[in-house]
Copies of this chain bind each other. A is one copy, B any other.
């Protein structure tokens, strides 16, 4: 996918904790076992037993819950470098369905038993996952539609930057407004109206799946957003 640089997935992990040569070797070896999954297919099914943790190499996935009457909620988005199905209890069951939103490439997440730095990266990644779940809760519970959109875009910008997937202040957003609405607890109609409003107000540029935040810091200040920090170690997290 990315030409020239390292895989965004590995880049991200190496930024969560400093990785050593054996860590990188394990990751690149895992990458050789990569598999492709088409959009709309499931990586994990809620209630089914989880086999082994996987790493998203490229593409976007989502943890979704479907209500009996067809309502759908996207609980979190999984981006390149994110882990899927990482748990420590015996015979774990998936607590949510994970579905590919785009074509997704994934590979095994190498076991970290004898790789303490990789284990740290996993731990930081998991802590960040939790932090983003908490943000999602606050977003849905206490922000209005415009704030929700801005907040989510800021989060995505931040996460994609960590994986080296932003450029010139913008990023590729391969989601329909329908999907966005399911993530934001809104209807696609209302998402559309608010996006247009934000365009008119000059907060965002958004054309052909590419989003540019005009002034991220200002936007963040306006909606009171704080990027999560999960470790006091120097390496970001």
Tell me the A residues contacting B by CB distance below 8 Å. Answer: 17, 47, 49, 63, 65, 67-69, 71-73, 75-76, 87-93, 95-96, 119-120, 123-124, 126-127, 130-131, 133-134, 136-138, 140-142, 184-185, 224, 228-233, 237
Contact = CB atoms under 8 A, between A and B. Distances in A.
Nearest to A87: B127
B89 A138 contact: no
A3 to B, nearest CB: 32
A86 to B, nearest CB: 11
A126 B130 CA distance: 11
A230 to B, nearest CB: 6
B67 A224 contact: yes
26 contacts: A17-B89, A63-B134, A65-B134, A67-B142, A67-B224, A69-B224, A72-B142, A73-B137, A73-B142, A87-B123, A89-B123, A89-B231, A89-B237, A91-B232, A91-B233, A93-B229, A93-B231, A93-B232, A95-B130, A95-B134, A95-B228, A95-B230, A96-B134, A130-B130, A133-B133, A140-B140
B92 A131 contact: no
B134 A134 contact: no
A110 to B, nearest CB: 17
Given A65-B138, A73-B141, A89-B126, 4 more contacts: A91-B233, A96-B134, A130-B133, A141-B184
A53 to B, nearest CB: 13
A1 B138 CA distance: 33
A229 B137 CA distance: 21
A130 B134 CA distance: 10
Given A138-B73, A142-B71, A93 B133 contact: no
Given A95-B228, A127-B95, A134-B75, A90 B120 contact: yes
A88 B130 contact: no
